[in-house]
């Protein structure tokens, strides 16, 4: 590793905008973005990180606690870790990527320990590194990002990518919400680490995750994969935001009358809960947790208890109403398609990390939960930062390079009718929240939904840019809309049930679909099938 050559340069700060010159621009300041920024700086790049909110509190991790797919490097343990979820994921994972993510996660976690993350020890004094407390972890990551010499722009959502005449990504531009002006970062490579899309469902910490990075990447021509694996729903108290599905494995689930709902379970029985919620309220009570488990829960996840302690509910002794909140692609496995070990996308100069990128490589078609996503954020963040820094170095000087704005929907003018983000976001939610559309899929219902979504897209792309105040909301809603269309188009293309994707009309897995579904496009959304890497290798060997 080389030492960072210096900071990104602030070129000008005229009225209305601030301009930076950098080697690598990272969009998103959750774990993946922070790891990417640190890695790019360690590999010699001058780095700017722009976060929509505040790097340190933004994203699904900061507000929560997460497991980490941290596995001791003994061959038996690694083998067991890789094998354990292959069936659940529909055998779409890639063993080579699983092995390298396990290696990289092990290294990054130990790096966190060296940086002073307060990992606990077990009763025998052995350190335990398979869990992270979100606020603690992300506070440390912000500190290390700053120490690496990265320039952090908080409250600075990106609006669109800049691309040069050869189609190479050349930076991005966005808003500085608290300053009321714009930023421009001219960069030689850009890392998209903006997370997935949870459609403003208020699942914990996820309302900043509206697929913004997908939209601006798609406008530059990027492709997506596994977007049909996008219908994860998490259990939360009906009134609250705290989703910690793990703890509900100690729960019993009952209906209005107090009768146990047969088959309802947080694992392997969540669809039963979804069906029951369509008929009436569902209640949970963590009555299977003994006193010791209760104590461990309180120490491990203090925020889980905030909704209960503040409403006077004892979740171990009293029933409380629950709901399922859509986690979309945050806990799905789809995202930007990456094409090499440095997490490059199909667009030159554009890299992807964390939940913004596909996690099909280690999860296949079923979420590995926070554990795999956290491991992926560390690993893909590290690789994307390295890949982007390397790309920037090879590009050499870019003095005099012209850059063009690639933004489309919500950024143009001409029709005299401004795009309204609030109503559009609600219209998209109406298509992706209902269990009968998204959890339980079927050709007729998916087709009807897509017709409505396509009409919304036509309408949105004809509309004008709204006022500066409403611009972010409009782009967020447009990103949600684009995401929903990639999801459902991919869901229609996969005429089987596999991983988390369930089709009422094709309830079983079908070997003819043991491939990956690529998607993309904005006005015209397309899909195509791609063979698994393993089958390509076996064909090549024949």
Partner 1 sequence: MIQVIDAERCTACDICVNVCPTNVFDKSDGIPVIARQGDCQTCFLCELYCPEDALFVSPFADAPQAIDVAALKEAALLGSYRRAVGWVEESRHLRAADRSFRLFGH
Please, is 214 exposed, middle or buried when counting C-beta atoms within 10 Å of its C-beta (0-12, 13-18, 19+)?
Answer: buried
* By CB under 8 A, residue 63 contacts partner 1: yes
Distance CA 219, CA 222 (A): 7
7's tokens: 């900071």
* By CB under 8 A, residue 415 contacts partner 1: no
Helix, strand, or coil (residue 153): strand
Contacts of 210 (CB under 8 A, 6+ apart): 197, 198, 199, 200, 476, 477, 479, 480
At which residue do the structure tokens 């505040």 appear?
54
* By CB under 8 A, residue 346 contacts partner 1: no
**Among 37, 49, 189, 208, interactor with partner 1 by CB under 8 A:** 208
Q: Please, what is the minimum distance in Å from the beta carbon of residue 137 to partner 1? A: 11
* By CB under 8 A, residue 202 contacts partner 1: yes
Q: Please, what is the minimum distance in Å from the beta carbon of residue 253 to partner 1? A: 16
User: Total number of residues binding partner 1 (CB under 8 A)?
Assistant: 58
> Which region among 296-304, 356-364, 479-487, 511-519 touches partner 1 (by CB under 8 A)?
296-304
Residue 505: CB atoms within 10 A of its CB come to: 13
Distance CA 524, CA 506 (A): 26
Helix, strand, or coil (residue 36): helix
**Among 311, 415, 495, 535, interactor with partner 1 by CB under 8 A:** 311
Nearer to partner 1, 267 or 512 (CB): 267
Nearer to partner 1, 81 or 532 (CB): 81
> Which region among 104-112, 204-212, 380-388, 506-514 touches partner 1 (by CB under 8 A)?
204-212
Contacts of 77 (CB under 8 A, 6+ apart): 71
Give all strands (DSSP E) within 337-418, no chain letters: 350-352, 403-405
**Among 47, 50, 192, 204, interactor with partner 1 by CB under 8 A:** 204
* By CB under 8 A, residue 315 contacts partner 1: no
**Among 265, 271, 293, 346, interactor with partner 1 by CB under 8 A:** 293
> Which region among 85-93, 112-120, 442-450, 491-499 touches partner 1 (by CB under 8 A)?
112-120
* By CB under 8 A, residue 11 contacts partner 1: no
Q: Per-residue x/- marks for partner 1, 158-187, CB under 8 A?
A: -------------------xx---------
> Which region among 189-197, 273-281, 293-301, 481-489 touches partner 1 (by CB under 8 A)?
293-301
384's tokens: 């994307």
In contact, 254 and 282? CB cutoff 8 Å: yes
* By CB under 8 A, residue 65 contacts partner 1: yes
In contact, 289 and 283? CB cutoff 8 Å: no
18's tokens: 């601030």
Contacts of 173 (CB under 8 A, 6+ apart): 158, 159, 160, 162, 182, 183, 184, 185, 405
Q: Please, what is the minimum distance in Å from the beta carbon of residue 133 to partner 1? A: 6
In contact, 447 and 398? CB cutoff 8 Å: no
What is the C-alpha R_g of the chain? 22
Q: Per-residue x/- marks for partner 1, 212-251, CB under 8 A?
A: -------------------------x-xxxx---xx-xx-
The residues of the shown chain that bind partner 1, judged by CB under 8 A, are 52-54, 56-59, 62-63, 65, 67, 118-122, 128, 130-131, 133, 135-136, 154-155, 177-178, 202, 204-208, 237, 239-242, 246-247, 249-250, 293, 295-303, 305-311
């Amino acid at each position: 590793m080389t030492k960072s050559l210096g900071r990104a340069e602030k070129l000008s700060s005229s009225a209305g905008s601030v301009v930076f010159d950098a080697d690598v621009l990272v969009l998103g300041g959750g774990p993946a973005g922070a790891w990417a920024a640190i890695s790019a700086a360690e590999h010699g790049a001058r780095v700017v990180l722009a976060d929509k909110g505040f790097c340190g509190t933004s994203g699904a991790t900061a507000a929560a606690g997460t497991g980490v797919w941290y596995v001791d490097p003994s061959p038996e343990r690694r083998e067991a870790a890789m094998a354990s979820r292959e069936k659940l994921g529909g055998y779409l994972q890639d063993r080579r990527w699983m092995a390298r993510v396990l290696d990289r996660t092990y290294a990054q976690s130990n790096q966190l320990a060296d940086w002073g993350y307060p990992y606990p020890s077990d009763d025998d004094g052995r350190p335990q590194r398979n869990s992270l407390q979100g606020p603690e972890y992300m506070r440390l990551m912000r500190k290390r990002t700053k120490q690496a010499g990265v320039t952090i722009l908080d409250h600075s959502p990106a609006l669109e990518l800049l691309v040069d005449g050869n189609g190479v990504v050349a930076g991005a531009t966005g808003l500085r919400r608290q300053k009321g002006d714009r930023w421009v970062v001219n960069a030689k490579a850009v890392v998209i680490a903006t997370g997935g899309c949870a459609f403003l469902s208020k699942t914990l910490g996820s309302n900043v995750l509206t697929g913004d990075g997908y939209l601006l990447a798609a406008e530059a021509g990027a492709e997506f994969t596994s977007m049909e694996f996008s219908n994860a729903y998490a259990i939360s108290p009906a009134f609250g935001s705290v989703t910690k599905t793990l703890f509900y494995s100690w729960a019993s689930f009952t209906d209005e009358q107090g009768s146990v709902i047969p088959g309802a379970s947080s694992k392997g029985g969540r669809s039963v809960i979804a069906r029951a919620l369509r008929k009436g309220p569902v209640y949970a009570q963590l009555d299977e947790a003994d006193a010791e488990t209760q104590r461990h829960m309180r120490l491990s996840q203090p925020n889980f208890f905030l909704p209960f302690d503040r409403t006077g509910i004892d979740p171990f002794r009293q029933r409380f109403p629950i709901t399922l909140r859509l986690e979309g692609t945050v806990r799905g496995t789809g995202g930007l398609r990456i094409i090499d070990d440095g997490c490059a996308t199909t667009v030159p100069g554009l890299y992807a990390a964390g939940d913004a990128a596909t996690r099909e490589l280690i999860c296949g078609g079923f979420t590995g939960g926070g554990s795999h996503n956290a491991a992926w954020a560390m690993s893909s963040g590290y690789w994307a930062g390295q890949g982007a820094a390397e790309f920037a170095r090879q590009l050499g000087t870019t003095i005099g390079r012209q850059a063009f704005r690639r933004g489309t929907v919500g950024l143009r003018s001409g029709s005299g009718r401004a795009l309204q983000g609030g109503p559009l976001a609600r219209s998209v939610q109406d298509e992706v929240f209902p269990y009968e559309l998204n959890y339980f899929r079927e050709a007729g219902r998916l087709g009807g939904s897509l017709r409505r979504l396509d009409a919304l897209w036509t309408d949105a792309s004809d509309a004008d840019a709204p006022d500066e105040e409403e611009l972010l909301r409009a782009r967020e809603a447009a990103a949600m809309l684009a995401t929903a269309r990639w999801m459902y188009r991919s869901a229609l293309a996969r005429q089987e049930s596999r991983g988390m994707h369930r089709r009422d009309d094709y309830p079983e897995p079908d070997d003819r679909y043991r491939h990956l579904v690529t998607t993309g496009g904005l006005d015209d959304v397309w899909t195509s099938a791609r063979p698994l890497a393993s089958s390509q290798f076996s064909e090549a060997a024949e």
